[in-house]
Structure 1
Amino acid sequence: MSVFSLFSLFAHLVEHLADLLQPLFHASAAAAAIVLFTALVRLLVHPLSRAAARGQRARAALQPKIAELREKHAKDPQRLQKAVMELHAEEKVSPLSGCLPGLLQLPAFFLLYHLFSSSTIGGEANGLLSHRLLSAPLGGTWADALGAGGPFGPAGLVYLGLFVLVAAVAAFNYRRTKRMMANNPVTMGAGGGEQVPGLGAVNAVMPFLSFFTLVTVAVVPLAAALYVVTSTTWSAVERAALYQ
């Protein structure tokens, strides 16, 4: 299947979902279809998220052994890193397993971004661009909304609602991540050494990553922004349930 036929197939899927939801959501049916599609993607990825949670608990259980290795190889950082990675391999624990759920969602985001950034799909006019979320076109961006009526215009208010939701989720994730890092400083890569090369820098910015979603929502087409907002909210709820 070619890339163009894949885009066409996906466009028809979104249109079909919108038709099914039209009696309930009327002009915003396509937006509701995107939210539903995102939920289905996250539901398919959920088993991997559960596996990632199990992996984190397994890594936490290895901390006493890692502490011993850190003390044993305190003067040889390279040997320490090698020994820690060998321990993970021996215990069949992947230090990067938590990345898989996020990586597998990228194709869906790319499809939505392409669909609502292109004027044609498969050589035909892209009818999806005519759909809206309330007063905001799904193919438009925040800059378009600002130009059409300002931040408090009809379309601007749609984005304002999304920004408020994203900020609330980001604040929740920030507090939760800071609490996890305080309770598990060794697990999170602080307090005397890194388990995996490069994780120290990642952990330094980790509490703030959710706030970057605000930038994404502002610059991508509204359809892709809906995917990001729905997926981010799902992640916050899912992680709160799985990483208790």
Structure 2
Amino acid sequence: MSAFMSVFASLVEHLADALDPLFHASATAAAIVLFTACVRLLVHPLSRASARGQKARAKLSPQIAELRKKHSKNPEKLQKAVMELHRKEKVSPLSGCLPSLFQLPAFFLLYHLFSNSSIGGEANTLLDHTLFAAPLGGRWADALSDGGVFGAQGLVYLGLFAIVAAVATFNFKRTKRQMAANPQPGTGAGTGAGDQPMPGMAAMAKVMPLMSFMTLFTVAVVPLAAALYVVTSTTWSAVERAVLYRDMPSGAGALATAA
């Protein structure tokens, strides 16, 4: 593991060296943003496949509505019938999770790299690199103790929080519109008599639009380098979904996983 982290640290340093003429003291932060963009480009084919899956599931809506009517008094049979329909049509209800799952290793690499004072037995010099005044190995709590919310470091975090809040608000409004236009089976939000709520589904439908705001908490508690990954990836996801789902039926992308 130490050897692998050393190689990854070297990669980040080489990217920072290449970007130094443009970004100077913030070159390492820029390298993290570039690294995140590269990861998202690699994951993009999965995102496109997820969008195709969402479109296929949208086409099954009339059949699912019939199943809800048929099994209106038996939620277990309804759930089994929907799963059988997905299998028959070769549609995976979990395909939207794949882009997020494949990004986790990259996030944890950055988290580990900027959470340790030494890598491969040597001092981790990356911790001294900064985004403006804020060290990449620091956290919001460190910024608050060194100048407060409006101190030099605190202002960096306020900028990140503003970006996350804007993206989360965009996702929130979009998801609310989509879920209102096409209520999901088992949430009890449909107008048909057969739309009986499945255990936990109604609560999930209420919580899902708020999930984007959880990114604010993540940015506040992880090292700044990992927070940069999260902010960049979340912004990418919002733009990517808006493009991939632009020509899909309203509501088709409502349950796509944000990443």
Alpha-carbon distance, 1:198 to partner:
5.0
User: 1:138–1:221: 8 Å Cα contact kept in structure 2?
Assistant: yes
SS in 1 for 2:146: helix
2:150 aligned partner, one-letter code: F
Over the matched positions of the two proteins, sequence identity in percent amounts to 73
Matched residue type, 2:62: P
User: Which range moves more in the overlay, 201-210 or 61-70?
Assistant: 201-210
Please list every run of 5 or more consecutive structure 1 residues that lacks an aligned counterpart in the other structure: none
Which residue of structure 1 lines up, in the alignment, with residue 75 of structure 2? 77
The Cα of 1:6 is off from its aligned counterpart by 1.4
Q: Distance in 2 between matches of 1:62 and 1:188?
A: 15
Instruction: Give the letter aligned to residue 100 of structure 1.
Output: L
Q: How does 1:49-68 map to 2 (within 5 A)?
A: 49-68=47-66
Q: Deviation at 1:200?
A: 3.9
The residue aligned with 2:85 is 87
Taking a change above 3 Å as real, the CA distance of residues 188 and 209 of structure 1, as seen in their structure-2 partners, is farther
Deviations 1:194-238 (A, max 9, x none): 68x754433221111111111111111000000000000000000
- Cα 1:50–1:200 change in 2 (3 A) is farther
Where in structure 2 are the equivalents of 1:203-214 lying within 5 Å? 203-214=205-216
2:181 and 2:153 map into 1 onto residues whose CA distance is: 42
Which residue does 1:37 correspond to in 2? 35
| Aligned-residue offset at 1:187 | 6.1
Q: How far did residue 58 of structure 1 move? A: 0.6
Offset at residue 68 of structure 1 (A): 1.1
1:134 pairs, out of 132, 135, 139, with 132
More helix by share: 1
Aligned length: 241
- Given candidates 208, 218, 221, the residue that maps to 1:219 is 221
Aligned 8 A contact 1:119 1:125 in 2: yes
What is the TM-score normalised by the length of structure 2? Answer: 0.90
Which letter does structure 2 place at the counterpart of 1:39? A
1:84 Cα deviation from its structure 2 partner: 0.7
Q: After superposition, what is the alpha-carbon deviation per residue over 1:117-151, rounded to whole angstroms, capped at 9, x for unaligned? A: 00000111001101000000000001101111111
Instruction: Indicate the larger mover: 198-207 or 137-146.
Output: 198-207
Aligned CA distance change for structure 1 residues 79 and 219 (closer, same or farther; 3 Å): same
2:233 to 216, 231, 236: 231
User: Taking structure 1 as reference, are residues 143 and 159 closer, same or farther at Cα in structure 2, changes over 3 Å only?
Assistant: same
**TM-score (normalised: structure 1):** 0.95
* Contact 2:73 2:196 (C-alpha < 8 Å) held by counterparts: no
Q: Alpha-carbon deviation of 1:178?
A: 0.4
Quote the Cα distance in structure 2 between the aligned partners of 1:213 and 1:182.
23
Aligned counterparts of 1:79 and 1:47: Cα–Cα separation in 2: 34
Instruction: Within 5 Å, give how 1:195-206 maps onto structure 2.
Output: 198-206=200-208
The one-letter amino acid paired with 1:14 is V
| Distance of 1:18 and 1:224 partners within structure 2 | 16
Which residue in 2 is equivalent to 1:4?
2
Amino acid at match of 2:112: H
Cross-structure match for 2:255: none
Contact 2:114–2:136 (8 Å) recurs in 1: yes
Q: Distance in 1 between matches of 2:86 and 2:184?
A: 15
Q: Call closer, same or farther: CA 1:241–1:188 in 2, change over 3 Å.
A: farther
**Cα distance per residue 1:8-31 (max 9 Å; x no partner):** 111111001000000100000000
Mark the CA change 1:132 to 1:227 in structure 2 (over 3 Å): closer, same or farther: same
